[in-house]
Amino acid sequence: MFVSATAGSVEAASKVILVYGDSLSAGYGIRVEQSWPSLLGDRLKEDTRVGAGGTPSWTVANASISGETTAGGRSRLEVALRQFKPKVVVLALGANDGLRGLPVKQMQDNLISMVKLAKASGARVLLIGMRLPPNYGPEYTNAFEAAFTTTARLEKVALLPFLLEPVAGQRSNFQADGLHPISAAQTKLLDHIYPALQPLLK
């Protein structure tokens, strides 16, 4: 099952996966039901290995916001955790920090804070990283990428290093802006994310 962040509640019998990201997870430029978090809800219903033996089913709540930075995400995470009470948090923020050239140390501090909040609420965390194009310069791009690795190592959480890895090499996977994957590429993203997420659902 999939619910948007504006939904009043989720099924009481469900365990919640909270997807907490930016436009890449919010379904920018496509229909919400075509986005990878929505497809994740469908995948979980089909996967007989998840929720077997009469255990509660999983619901996907998507609290992603287009244009969100790690600072914005940090400011609203406590409310989201109280609202959805997730068992798993998929944290996919940082792309907008990089595109705006914001300080990497500030981004990493925000990521660490959000991971700590999620863990303190009792949720398992999958941190999803991002990479920047080379025109940002090697010093910044290397530090940016390392921030995700460092956060995962320090907080001992699962890491998927690069959200767009299965689609990044082909321009046809993206909308006219060259930044946001098209609807047909969303399944590729889900196929990339799902193996990293599965261990957290046991």
* Structural domain total, the chain: 1
Distance of alpha carbon 192 from alpha carbon 164, whole angstroms: 9
Q: Are 74 and 114 in contact (CB under 8 A)?
A: yes
Distance of alpha carbon 90 from alpha carbon 63, whole angstroms: 10
Catalytic residue among 25, 38, 180, 192: 180
**Burial of 113 (C-beta count, 10 Å sphere; 0-12/13-18/19+):** middle
Q: Is 177 one of the catalytic residues?
A: yes
Q: Is 97 one of the catalytic residues?
A: no
Predicted pLDDT of residue 167: 98
**Residue-wise pLDDT tens digits, 147-202:** 999 999 999 999 999 999 999 999 999 999 999 999 999 999 999 999 999 999 98
Residue 150 belongs to domain spanning = 2-201
Residue 39 in this model has a pLDDT that exceeds 90:
yes
Catalytic residue among 14, 22, 23, 97: 23
Tell me the CATH number at 68.
Answer: 3.40.50.1110
**Residue-wise pLDDT tens digits, 132-141:** 999 999 999 9
pTM for the model stands at 0.92
Token pair, residue 97, equals: 């920090």
